[in-house]
Structure 1
């Protein structure tokens, strides 16, 4: 049974019947709670320190355009966790991570001191304080109203509110990047797919009002750069907030056909293009889209060993073959820390289909980033693990994943996205416009 580590859960139980929290609870944000709703204090054991603002400024050795220098490079691992000492720590591991360690005796976790580096701009903190008393779930939980920026439910009363916090967390205002993805087969073979990606966020954008959102979270576009046989193919997504009211709009440009087609559906269990069948559409960014196919339960908080401050695997110049090993990522490049996470369980509702009958999400209390997901099939068997390896993009500031993985235990395969070590670093000041994310723009880019 999960150990509840926070007095927040007492507040959750007391507020179950209310649409928003009262002023006394909201006043805790920025006081005994962090501005986004985490516990400011450390734990009793001293193994989790207090939150002291996170990394809100770049370190002295950072220069714009760099891959982010590791501010914790001098840290030494506290211990190494592998299949031999797994029993001592299994209460602090996601179920899928335990299976990954058991299935791969050469795999291990390097566990480091906990660094609570998550930070966001002050205006996001201010908006979150406002949201605590104004945000409301609508459309049976399939949408949120009354907000335009910030975490909508910093003191969540149920699992739906918690997963919306992840979906609507701050990720900057716009972003251009070049990254690689790969499906690594059981024998270790893989092919890299290089993508040029642009994102324009409406939610979280400075000066935006709830009315201005027009049921839109963000716009997204990618163009394939390599390999040559696929180069030029592209995709545009217009991401709606309430996807039951209006499904996301998706267009794809095929270089071979030299035409733009509207995709009828890219959501839920639809397979994400170019992932060798390893990733469903709603697994992108750990979870996205409408939550209506699942029943969501907030199980409380737990202290867990999770990926965090993953600067080592983010550094410039690392060869991709050094990262992508047979069966797993290279454990020498990964960092795990002990953090408090919200645990949310999603059970597939009767009458709906999805390869995952149950998913258990572990959400960082300081950022609402999903850090790990246990994946169960419709028979209740644990069949996979999803992980997000995050860093603080301190120049924004923003906390988010630099690398995402999905492990398939039955097939012995895994998928990884976000490989950027030999590409230009993300541009959070890219000059983008909503007009760049239309089928007409997609057609122009393809010609």
Structure 2
């Protein structure tokens, strides 16, 4: 969305606040807290009682540290040392600020799993026009009947419910959070065996967002969330395969549309399996389609419950893990990623629980998510099978892309507690460049007809 368009809409925001339409997500009085007692995205501005969580003061500055010629970020906190490290031996004294899934990782890997905990820094920040978009969302956006889509959201496009009232609204904030607009990235994914051996799968991925695609028609933009294209570049047996996804705001009325170009067959076909619990790309059965980005897609198969807010040790400011000085072989180890490279901090999180609806189908009978209050990114996930047994634990290694004011993550991993394996994705350490933001995107590039050209080896 252009800055000019946001500013024009902000003029209407004052009238919206005065009107306080009964259909608004929150009242005018509540919305006025954004940027005052609350952060502009709805987090608590104040720190906690003992000061272990500081106050939010605007997030990390755009010039917080150096950016190299390839776009990789230097670590603004490189000189810091852990306050302490949680291990299976001292676990008891920290249990109150750990989730069930985190505790299960210590139980599964008592000799190798650890969590180095550092001083907390509330670094999340987005551009000013995105803050203004969140204010528009607060007074205008509501859930469609059933909660599976958004009304009056296309004027803002980001953070549908910065002051949420229930679990579904919290999850919609994750789905509609700011990711930096159009982007291009080259990433690596691996699914290590129990002995630690792995084969890298390399991807070339682009994302287009409706407000930044000039040739996207108003009709198509009205229900569009984003456009995603993923080309496999290695290994040779998979190279040239391309996935195209059109994600909608109301994925029940207009379900996700996906296509796959198979380089071996040289044909494009619809891919309805790229949704819900369909298999994730080249993930060896270790994640589903809706596990990518911790959670994505239509929320209609679950009942969502807001448990509340709590303090939790979560992955945060993982600049070391994103460093080009670190090799994939340094990260990928047997059982779990190299925890010595990780950084955890104490932050407030929203806790949401999803229970599969009666009559619906999904391999996960229950999910639990913990979302960072400042970025709305899911930091930790817990996935249960149909018998109620904890099956998989996910974590996204949060990092602030300070140069472009975008909260993202260095990588994400999903651990299968039963199989003793995991899938690690979105790694960029050894790629030719870091994520490129602000790229040009055309609707023509995201059509099935364009897939064949994208898949040329």
Cα shift at 1:128:
0.9
Q: Distance in 2 between matches of 1:351 and 1:166?
A: 26
Q: Which residue of 1 aligns with 2:191?
A: 183
Greater shift in the superposed pair: 336-345 or 93-102: 93-102
Partner Cα separation in structure 2 for residue 50 and residue 264 of structure 1: 45
- 1:403 alignment partner, SS class: strand
Q: Deviations over 1:85-121 (max 9, x none)?
A: 1111111112111111121122111000001000001
Q: Does 1:153 align with 2:161?
A: yes
How far apart, CA to CA, are the structure 2 residues paired with 1:334 and 1:204? 34
1:429 corresponds to 2:435? no
CA distance in 1, matches of 2:52, 2:218: 40
Determine the C-alpha separation between the residues in 1 that align with 2:167 and 2:221.
24
How does the TM-score come out when normalised to structure 1?
0.93
Matched ranges for 1:232-271 at <5 A: 232-271=240-279
SS at match of 2:139: coil
Does the CA contact (< 8 Å) of 1:142 and 1:244 recur in 2? yes
Map of 1:129 onto structure 2 = 135
Q: How many angstroms apart in 2 are the aligned matches of 1:317 and 1:29?
A: 39
**2:321 maps to what in 1?**
313
1:49-128 equivalence runs, <5 A: 49-63=54-68, 65-105=70-110, 106-128=112-134
Corresponding residue to 2:235 among 221, 224, 227: 227
What is the CA-CA distance between 1:60 and the residue it aligns to?
A: 4.5
Q: Aligned partners of 1:205 and 1:75: how far apart in 2? A: 41
* 1:340 alignment counterpart: 348
Offset at residue 395 of structure 1 (A): 1.6
2:406 is aligned to: 398
Distance, in Å, in 2 between the alignment partners of 1:123 and 1:210 is 21
Q: CA RMSD for the aligned pairs?
A: 1.9
In the other structure, the counterpart of 1:328 is 336
Residue 250 of structure 1 aligns to a residue whose secondary structure is: strand
- Name the structure 2 match of 1:3: none
Cα drift, residue 366 of structure 1: 0.3
My pick for the range that moved more, 144-153 or 361-370, is 144-153
191, 194, 203: which one pairs with 2:202? 194
Who is 1:415 aligned against?
423
Query: Residues of 1 paired with 2:330 and 2:109: CA distance?
Result: 18
Structure 1 position 30 matched with structure 2 position 63: no
Question: SS of the counterpart of 1:441?
Answer: helix
Partner of 2:13: none
1:402-445: CA deviation from partner (whole Å, max 9, x where unpaired): 20110000100100001111111111032221211111111122
Q: SS in structure 2 opposite 1:286?
A: coil
**CA separation of 1:209/1:432 partners in 2, compared to 1, >3 Å: closer, same or farther?**
closer
TM-score, normalisation: structure 2:
0.91
Q: 1:19 deviation in Å?
A: 5.1
Distance 1:137 1:210, change over 3 A: farther
**Kept in 2: contact 1:172–1:201 (CA 8 A):** no
Is this contact kept in 1: 2:65–2:73, CA < 8 A?
no
**1:81–1:109 CA contact under 8 A, matched in 2:** yes
Q: Does 1:273 align with 2:277?
A: no
How far, CA to CA, are the matches of 1:56 and 1:68 in structure 2? 13
Q: How far apart, in 2, do the equivalents of 1:262 and 1:128 lie?
A: 35
Secondary structure, aligned partner of 2:306: strand
Deviation at 1:160, TM superposition (A): 0.7
Question: How far apart are 1:64 and its partner, in Å?
Answer: 5.3
Q: Is the 1:150–1:204 contact (alpha carbons within 8 Å) kept by the matching residues of 2?
A: no
**Deviating more after overlay: 94-103 vs 409-418:** 94-103
Take 2:26 and 2:209, find their aligned partners in 1: how far apart are those partners? 27
State the SS of the aligned residue for 1:404: strand
Q: Structure 2 vs 1, CA of residues 436 and 56 (structure 1 numbering), >3 Å: closer, same or farther? A: farther
Any residues of structure 2 matched to 1:281-292 within 5 Å, and which? 281-292=289-300
**Which residue is 2:447 aligned to?**
438
1:9 counterpart residue number: none
User: Mean alpha-carbon deviation: is it higher for 409-418 or for 100-109?
Assistant: 100-109
Per-residue deviation, 1:317: 3.2
Deviation at 1:58, TM superposition (A): 2.7
Gaps in structure 1 of 5+ consecutive residues? 1-16
> Any conservation in 2 of the 1:26–1:133 contact (CA below 8 Å)?
yes
